[in-house]
Structure 1
Amino acid sequence: MSDAEPAAERRARAAALVRAQQGADLVVLPELWPLGGFAYDAWSDGAEPLDGPTADVMSAAAKAAGVWLHAGSIVERDPDGPVYNTSLVFSPSGELVHTYRKIHRFGFDSGEAIAMGAGQEIVTAATDFGTLGLATCYDLRFPELFRALLDAGAQLLVIPAAWPERRREHWTLLARARAVEEQAYVLACNTAGTHGGVEQAGHSLVVDPWGKVLAEAGMGEQVLTVEFDPAEVARAREEFPVLRDRLLGIPAPVQR
């Protein structure tokens, strides 16, 4: 993806990639791909409603391919509030069935942290092949979110991102850590190219519940096709039942 590519052309190209995945069960796109994850100056003018141009083309593409589609995220314009970093999930019929507003906003005192509102809801999506737990990019650094998704029934954690190259090792390390912690599949889809002049890490990856990387892309734009058995989640949790030993409360310190 290049900063010079207009949003309309990106949508058309992404839709063609989705349509080409006919026969797949699930297709995942990265974070904020229509405008760019670091393209702060473009967000206000390029924000769109949930029934805007990106949703239109992604709905049609999901229906044409007959797939579940996590269409990455858009800059959502809420007429009654701020803009949000919002993920869109479509059913194989093309219906927009779930949205997730990113909870943890990156940038500290700049960028997304001040330009966007924070989501408030934990979101899962029931599919024919298991329950998806939805998170986005910087969320990956907050394990408490993933424990909440686990408790909500998530078996496959889907994480679109616009993660920069300079922190690529964190991206792959944390994706594997979340898979091991929750004994779940992690489908982590990252951007390639440049966003707002920031080089992206690429390296999308699929990790199984044991932390094994089943497939990993390079730095360039790439389509990963991965076959895996969703039943492995239940097998892993039964064979190594670490989750039953969770202690939900930490005792208060003893005063001496």
Structure 2
Amino acid sequence: MRASLIQMCVDPAESVNSRRTRAASLVRAQADSDLVVLPELWTVGAFAADLFATEAEALTGPTHEAMAAAARDAGVWLHAGSIVERAADGTLYNTSLVFSPDGQLAASYRKIHRFGFDQGEAVLLGAGDRAVTVGLPQTTLGLATCYDLRFPELFRQLVADGAQMLVVPAGWPARRRAHWSLLARARAVENQTYVLACGTAGTHADVEQAGHSVVVDPWGEVLAEAGPDEEVLTVDLDPAKVAKTRADFPVLRDRVLGLDVP
């Protein structure tokens, strides 16, 4: 199974429509991959909170339309990163979209853990309320977004729901890049899964992005890592390695769930 992570640069000088067109072109260029992943909020920038309301769109809005067509043209499974979704009741969400190779929306995930500590995303956007997995022919994806990476409970639920590959689009700041790399490996090791963590490059809203998208295997080994600039990170994965790792070192069977911890 071949996966490509598109570490896009989010430049405020580039219009949203232009970046949407460019993202679609980048996806179409990965036709030799099985799975393609885009970053979090690449349309507006994860820290550009002043644009959330003005650039919000319906789940089936222009980004959905462009990404569905790109997935269909490339014949790939596409995790299209996330958009600012405007729900029917007006609530805004940080919502990820996953498309099948025929361009159908296979899954959507509203980010559960909102970053900002009483400002930005934490107060402007609603919170998702469910873990989401999606089955591919080769594996089962578990969906998470950026700040979710700091909350291992979500990933335990995803594994309980059958996830064998965790996909984490992000807009992670450069000043905490060490945490990004550490947490991606930790989630892979503790859950014995692949982790595909796809970030953004560049600077938006005066926040330098970490880049350094990374693919980690179920033993915690880094298979590929990007640099700080825009690039496409492509890696060949063996989905059977998840089951083999879990059989050779069956730590997950010793989980004790539902602990009443004060």
* TM-score in terms of structure 1 length: 0.97
Residue 138 of structure 2 corresponds to residue 129 of structure 1: yes
Residue 20 of structure 2 corresponds to residue 11 of structure 1: yes
2:164 alignment partner in structure 1: 155
Q: Does the CA-based 8 Å contact 1:3-1:197 persist in structure 2?
A: no
1:43 alignment partner in structure 2: 52
> CA-to-partner distance for each residue in 1:26-59, whole Å, 9 max, x for gaps?
0000000001100011110100001111111100
List alignment gaps of at least 5 residues for structure 2: 1-8
Runs of 4+ in 1 over 6 A off after TM superposition: none
**How far did 1:97 drift?**
1.3
> CA-to-partner distance for each residue in 1:113-150, whole Å, 9 max, x for gaps?
00000000110000011000000000000000000000
Q: Distance in 1 between matches of 2:261 and 2:167?
A: 35
Match of 1:120 among 129, 132, 141: 129
Pair member with larger Rg:
1
CA RMSD of aligned residues (A): 1.1
> CA-to-partner distance for each residue in 1:94-123, whole Å, 9 max, x for gaps?
001100000000001100000000000110
Q: Distance in 1 between matches of 2:211 and 2:114?
A: 20
User: Share of identical aligned residues, percent?
Assistant: 68
Structure 1 residues 6, 246: CA separation in 2 closer, same or farther (over 3 Å shift)? Answer: same
2:102 alignment partner in structure 1: 93
Letter in 2 for 1:80: D
Summarize the alignment of residues 159-198 of structure 1 with structure 2, pairs less than 5 Å apart. Answer: 159-198=168-207
> CA-to-partner distance for each residue in 1:212-245, whole Å, 9 max, x for gaps?
0000000001101100100000000000001111
> CA-to-partner distance for each residue in 1:158-206, whole Å, 9 max, x for gaps?
0000000000000000000000000000000001001212100000000
Question: What's the secondary structure of 2:231's corresponding residue?
Answer: coil
Q: Does the CA-based 8 Å contact 1:202-1:217 persist in structure 2?
A: yes
List alignment gaps of at least 5 residues for structure 1: none
1:205 alignment partner in structure 2: 214
2:70 alignment partner in structure 1: 61
**How far did 1:247 drift?**
1.7
Match of 2:88 among 55, 79, 98: 79
Question: What's the secondary structure of 2:153's corresponding residue?
Answer: helix
Residue 42 of structure 2 corresponds to residue 33 of structure 1: yes
Match of 1:236 among 239, 242, 245: 245
**How far did 1:252 drift?**
7.5
Q: Distance in 2 between matches of 1:57 and 1:228?
A: 27
Letter in 2 for 1:246: R
2:29 alignment partner in structure 1: 20
Q: Distance in 2 between matches of 1:57 and 1:249?
A: 42
Question: What's the secondary structure of 1:50's corresponding residue?
Answer: coil
Q: Distance in 2 between matches of 1:33 and 1:195?
A: 10
Letter in 1 for 2:114: R
Match of 2:152 among 132, 143, 146: 143
* TM-score in terms of structure 2 length: 0.95
Aligned length: 253
Q: Does the CA-based 8 Å contact 1:176-1:186 persist in structure 2?
A: yes
2:5 alignment partner in structure 1: none
Letter in 2 for 1:234: A
> CA-to-partner distance for each residue in 1:58-92, whole Å, 9 max, x for gaps?
00000000000000000001121410000000000
Q: Distance in 1 between matches of 2:220 and 2:208?
A: 27
Q: Distance in 1 between matches of 2:217 and 2:154?
A: 19
Q: Does the CA-based 8 Å contact 1:103-1:120 persist in structure 2?
A: yes
